Structure 1
Amino acid sequence: MSGSSTPPETGEALFDQVGPALSHLRRRTSGGRGDLTRNLILNVVSDAPGEVTVGAIAAEMGVSQPVVSRTIAACIADGLLRRAASQTDGRRTVLELTPAGESERRRFASEQRVTFEDITAAWDPAERTQFAQFLIRYSQDATAWSAGRTRRREDDAGSDPGST
């Protein structure tokens, strides 16, 4: 890779830099603070395997419900999301992407692709491709890991502590 060199560290020292690097990457490759949060919410709603609530979005993003509620309200006001009655439990309100929300999500993705291409322009094409593949794999594995943790918490909450 040309430009910046990769860190010379290996093992623990290298892995200690992963979290800060991912955080730095998210901050530097978004259009702004509001865009980052809005993009995350639109992607969570789009990627959800079923119905999604405000609480589910907050849990997925690792923030409190009031924090995410403000951005969701703005997304609804801007026509990017809509509230709907749950098809499985009419007492619950779920969120859905509108066509404008899907368009905005695609716009964010396009901007992020351009940013990725700009940042990695001097990279060897094979390294660029491999890095993109690893980022996507990491994202998919993180989603599966998160879903597994959620299932375990739900299973633990549903078990009767007096029965063991």
Structure 2
Amino acid sequence: MTKHEPQTAEELLDAVGPAFGKLRRTSLLEVANPVSAKDLSRTLVLNIVQEHTRDSEKEITVGAVAELLGVDPSVASRMVGDNIKAGYLTRAASQQDGRRTVLVLSPEGAELMARFRRHQREAFDYITTDWAEDDRLEFARLMLKYVDSLGRLKDRRAQG
């Protein structure tokens, strides 16, 4: 686990925040066949576009990307512009409101995301290679449960 293994439930729960920080700082670049640092950064935007346009009826704008990333619209605009320049995103007229411009994943963007997903899986397999299979599967299940709970935070805040 960690150099100083938490002894109590309170210490264990207090260690979660720093562990998440370390996850973000620990680069997936160290695993075989890495995605470049620049493309790793680009996947933040591409993931949001891909996730929020899976349903062919859904569209996403730069403003929505800013909101979902929790950044200023000008920052999101620069990030989106970088993805467009790299050929991973395109702008298109909204099919729901022709006055709006929406973001669409290009075939190159879809390929980058497929490669990134493979890389994430390889990284998980590499990092947890010495774990018991039950532990690996339980961690994966709990991580997905945690992320699902993140998606419901807005609902909980609205309720109370």
Query: TM (normalized to structure 2)?
Result: 0.79
Unaligned runs of 5+ in 1: 153-164
Supply the distance in 2 between the matched residues of 1:136 and 1:96 (Cα, whole angstroms). Answer: 26
Unaligned runs of 5+ in 2: 30-35
- What residue is the counterpart of 1:69 in the other structure? 77
Report what 1:106 is aligned to. 114
Equivalent pair of 1:29/1:112 in contact (CA under 8 Å): no
Report the equivalent of 1:127: 135
- 1:21 alignment partner in structure 2: 19
1:9-36 Cα distance to aligned partner (Å, 9 max, x none): 4444333332332232123143365333
Separation in structure 2 between the aligned mates of residue 69 and residue 127 of structure 1, nearest angstrom:
41
Is the alpha carbon distance of 1:6 and 1:87 closer, same or farther for their aligned partners in structure 2, counting shifts above 3 Å? farther
Runs of 4+ that moved beyond 3 A? 3-7, 9-13, 29-33
Count of aligned pairs between the two proteins: 148
Question: 1:45 & 1:121 partners in 2: Cα distance?
Answer: 31
The structural deviation recorded for 1:6 is 8.3
Distance in 1 (alpha carbons) for counterparts of 2:22 and 2:138: 20
Task: Indicate how the Cα distance of structure 1 residues 6 and 118 shifts in structure 2: closer, same or farther if over 3 A, else same.
Answer: farther
Q: Secondary structure at the match of 1:130?
A: helix
TM-score after normalising by structure 1: 0.78
Alpha-carbon distance, 1:73 to partner: 0.8
Given the alignment of the two structures, is residue 35 of structure 1 paired with residue 36 of structure 2, yes or no?
A: no
